[in-house]
Amino acid sequence: MTKSEKTAYDIVVFGATSFVGQILTNYLLSTYGVGKTVNWALAGRSESKLKTLKSDLGEGAKDIPLIIADAADETALRAMCEQTRVIISTVGPYALYGEPLVKACVETGTDYCDLTGEVQWIRRMIQQYEEQAKASGARIVHCCGFDSIPSDMGVWFLQNKAEETFGGPCEDVRMRVKAAKGGMSGGTVASMMNIAREAGADPQLRKELANPFSLCPPEHRSETRQPSLKNAEFDKTFDVWLAPFVMGAINTRIVHRSNALQGARYGKEFTYDEAMMTGKGNKGRLGAYGVTGALAGFFTASAFKPTRWLVGKFVPQPGEGPTPDEQKNGFYDLRFVGRTADGKTMITKVTGDRDPGYGSTGKMLGEAGMCLAFDVPSDKEGGFWTPSTLLDGDLLERLTSKAGLTFEVVETR
């Protein structure tokens, strides 16, 4: 008997009452309904909050089942996993609350995806559970939100087009955030502050966080120095100033892991980095230095207890985030510049039609879960995958047809 034949649900949304969980739940309900395309349930630790969410969703949600499980209750988590084929988790910071659920999924052979961007936690999960996941058949896919689906799938798309057009991959790819609009959520801030706190107290962790191959198998390394923008810099390709991109720390690691899991398909000396455009001329230059300084100040202050408390007074708290109008009016436009070893160049772009961190992330996470439940062959090996290496073209089709993303070639030369 297969797992799909003995489980009640295709998908369980764990952390459904969280900020992103509510966006995700609304998306699944409006896109797929209840008990039609997909059998799914809502899960979380508070029955009263789940019932309130269900009521707020309206008459169409009356038949959605509820599962009560706390992130720290391994028995309840295991029982939840045994009822479903796929878990989508929005319960973060994952470094604080995520491991028991990953453990339960690995032990029960349940597929899992989340929206974490916490490099240090992902590394620990891979080290502790990958062999067991391979044995049980559980497919674990982290980073299924804005970090890192647009970056990971963006590079995958560019490389497919490069192979079609040039006959080989681009050995150097640079992603540039051309434009983005969207609010900040307290959950994201809490995760970023926790990373800074852990790194401030652990020199070995700081070393790991500086390693672009920290999520790759030990044998996957490059002799070529990886680019890593730390300060304001001028970009000749687009004639604009650049600043560090806060999500680059996780996105670059996921892209390199994707390359490794594909047998160095992008090249053994593949290089990749990310940055954000701040504009042209003096205004762009000042913007680049301003962003650089603000990011440095945030992470430095978050690393130490007295200043971390102060930072916490001025940022959104967990459960807070952009309004529905802000989500709807948000967007992002990413540009990828790929160069082959013999100098050929391709520029592609990826866009999203909602604010990146929440409106678009909720849709991407939902489609990653659907892809896990319905598109991945049942005999695909268990283990810790990336979005592009496990979900690949099926996810690309879902993102473009349902989740409001576009992928297109802008220029080749």
Only one residue has tokens 């030990």, namely 218
- The structure tokens listed for 38 are 């997909």
Q: DSSP assignment of 393-411, as one string? A: HHHHHHHHHTS-EEEEEEE
325 and 210, same domain (yes or no): yes
CA–CA separation, 198 and 121 (whole Å) = 10
Residues 6+ apart with CB under 8 A from 388: 152, 153, 155, 156, 258, 395
For the sheet containing 84-89, what is the strand order? 66-68, 40-44, 9-14, 84-89, 111-114, 139-141, 383-385
How many residues are given for the chain?
Answer: 413
85 and 176, same domain (yes or no): no
132 and 39, same domain (yes or no): yes
105 and 200, same domain (yes or no): no
344 and 371, same domain (yes or no): no
Only one residue has tokens 């939902």, namely 366
Q: pLDDT truncated to tens, each residue of the chain (413 aa)? A: 345 556 899 999 999 999 899 999 999 999 999 988 899 999 999 999 999 999 999 999 999 999 999 999 999 999 999 999 999 999 988 999 999 999 999 999 999 999 999 999 999 999 999 999 999 999 999 999 999 999 999 999 999 999 999 999 999 999 999 999 986 656 666 666 666 677 667 677 677 777 899 999 999 988 899 998 889 999 999 999 999 998 898 999 999 999 999 999 999 999 999 999 999 999 999 999 998 888 777 666 666 666 665 555 655 566 667 788 888 889 999 999 999 999 999 999 999 999 998 899 999 999 999 999 999 998 999 999 999 999 999 999 999 999 999 999 999 99
DSSP letter for 89, please.
E
| Bridge partner residues of 86 (DSSP) | 11, 111
294 and 340, same domain (yes or no): yes
156 and 207, same domain (yes or no): yes
- Chain centroid to CA 98: how far? 15
The residue segments making up the domain with residue 379 are 3-144+360-401
pTM of the model: 0.93
44 and 162, same domain (yes or no): no
User: What are the b/e assignments for 393-411, b being 16+ CB within 10 Å?
Assistant: ebbbebbeeebbbebebee
40 and 172, same domain (yes or no): no
Yes or no: say if 382 and 255 are a contact pair by the CB < 8 Å rule.
no
Q: DSSP assignment of 259-275, as one string? A: HHHTTSTT-TT-EEEEE
Q: How many domains does the chain have?
A: 2
CATH number at residue 70: 3.40.50.720
The number of C-alpha atoms within 13 Å of 175 and in the hemisphere containing its C-beta is: 31
| Bridge partner residues of 273 (DSSP) | 174
Q: DSSP assignment of 107-171, as one string? A: HHT-EEEE----HHHHHHHHHHHHHHHHHHT-EEE---BTTBHHHHHHHHHHHHHHHHHHSS--S
β-strand pairing of 240-244 with 233-235: antiparallel
CA–CA separation, 24 and 120 (whole Å) = 25
173 and 42, same domain (yes or no): no
Hey, what amino acid is at 207? K
168 and 261, same domain (yes or no): yes
CA–CA separation, 386 and 144 (whole Å) = 8
Exposed, middle or buried: residue 35 (CB in 10 Å: 0-12, 13-18, 19+)? exposed
174 and 111, same domain (yes or no): no
